[in-house]
Amino acid sequence: MAAVAQSAPVTITITADSTGPKISRDIFGQFAENLGNGIYGGVWVGEASPIPNVRGIRSDVVQALRELKVPSVRWPGGCFADEYHWRDGVGPRDKRAVTVNGSWGNALEKNDFGTDEFFDFIDQIGSEAYISVNMGSGSVKEAADWLGYMTADPKTTAGAERAANGHPKPYRVKFLGIGNESWSCGGAYSPDYYVDEMKRYARFTRNLNLEQQGTDNPAGGSVAGSDPMQRIAVGPGGMDTAYTDAVMKAWKSHDWSWSIEGLSMHNYTWISWPPPFSSIDFGEREYAMLIKDTLKMEDMIRVHAAVMDKYDPDKKVPLVIDEWGVWLAKLPGSKDGFLHQQNSIRDAIIASINLNMFTRHADRVRMTAIAQMVNVLQAMILTDGPKMVLTPTYHLFKMYVPFQNATRLPISFDAGTYMFGDVSVPRIDAIAARGNDGKLWIALTNVDPGKTADIDVELKGVRAKQVSGNVLTAARVDAINSYEEPDTVKPQPISAKVVGGRLKVTLPPKSVTVLSVSE
């Protein structure tokens, strides 16, 4: 479809000399589950592989992820976490247990990629660990022993075992997930039962890395000024607030012996279950419907944040959206349970809408993890043997790097409307922030797949001198990057100008633009 000019310019007003909440860099986190080819083939190939690697971890994937400045990686799941027993994945690989991944396709799990390999991986990409402990089929002791293996001094038995496996220095565990979807695949617990179990895990799964913790206190936490591990409790997976209410009520009345430092929430763009829409060869109807389905994230955040505010008006406990993204039908010919799908410009636009929503709620939403990192669901990267391709979502995340730890700025605009049949959604989305580099950064999304949008930006309190930027767009709503054509969807420079202190830019259809403004 040829682009049709939008007659009336969209005026955006940014109060550039004001301030707002910090956009935590943890909002741009990733998720890598032992699922399909997410780990094996995607991250881990083994030292003997002809694919270039460092200690078995493929170098091309590491280099690509380093450019995203990934703040944290959630592992080993997901549903897999509640059937994962960490001892299966430590020690000599030729002696590790071979198990079955009952959550995902009954695939054989050789446990070649275990705790030490995971920490090697996140060290190579420059990230932090978000460990999910087994609350479903495991025990408090198993979780506590795992924390001991990861974080104890090498003079202890647990730390000595880690040191004997080649890692004398304690690992740094920044985030600890206490269960996963305990209302479903993680045990189907009632909210009250989950809370009782959560208290035990929060009490006894201690971070023993004193270098990270500073001075330890009897609760397993740390004194002010240190950098304690943050424990994330299971929260909602829909509009039902029962888990949110139960966990926050318990947090409100907690004593010195336990606490949590985050509440998780899961929400996918998928229309219905099982996901009916394809990741390839689709049209504008499917495009519009999935854009609309994405917007339910805003309602979920508002509903659950209101419950959290009731118990935590000072917003001490962040809402951690540690599973989100586009979940589509599996690619034809791919294995059941491997969740292998392609990634299009539509998915990148959906990612921008989600990240913008998180930014608008940055006072409460301070951490998220997109599902998932490599070869699974809305992946950053796809691999096939030695081949690797960067997806449109990868490029979107790279464009948003300047928003990590930036300060959100007040912004107002009339979003307008994009319609297809009976589907109606906002046409324009935008956020603005003051980056750590001192520059003003603006992200602009044009959802309409058929019309350009002329944008006129008023900057209150500052005078712009220069503006530059990149745009991510494509000719078709279902445009993808393939191994044969890896650059079909990639950022390109966009023409923007400063006229009388105002910014002028024309957004292509179905596009995301990020502008950098110098004053």
What amino acid positions are annotated as catalytic residues?
181, 323
Please give the structure tokens belonging to residue 1: 């479809």
Neighbours of 405 (CB within 10 A): 17
Half-sphere exposure of 41 (CA within 13 A, CB side): 14
3-state secondary structure of 444: strand
The residue count for the chain: 519
Please give the structure tokens belonging to residue 231: 């424990």
Amino acid present at 468: S
Question: In angstroms, how far is the first alpha carbon of the chain from the final one?
Answer: 38
387 Cβ neighbours under 8 A, 6+ residues apart: 483
Which H helix or E strand runs over 511?
strand 511-518
Amino acid present at 489: V
Gyration radius of the chain over CA positions: 23
Distance separating alpha carbons of residues 412 and 357, to the nearest angstrom: 14
Phi-psi region of 448 (alpha: psi -120 to 50; beta: other; left: phi over 0): beta
429 Cβ neighbours under 8 A, 6+ residues apart: 352, 353, 356, 415, 444, 445, 447
Closest to 508 (Cα-Cα) out of 468, 467, 457, 470: 470
Contact 519, 444 (CB under 8 A): no
Distance separating alpha carbons of residues 457 and 517, to the nearest angstrom: 11
3-state secondary structure of 371: strand
Distance separating alpha carbons of residues 472 and 358, to the nearest angstrom: 20
Angle at 109 between CA 376 and CA 34, to 5 degrees: 30
Angle at 201 between CA 200 and CA 206, to 5 degrees: 115
Q: What is the dihedral of CA 327, 332, 337, 340, to 10 degrees?
A: -50
Distance separating alpha carbons of residues 284 and 478, to the nearest angstrom: 9
Question: Facing residues of 445 across strands?
Answer: 429, 512
Closest to 13 (Cα-Cα) out of 430, 354, 402, 404: 430
Please give the structure tokens belonging to residue 394: 């990868």
Please give the structure tokens belonging to residue 318: 């962040």
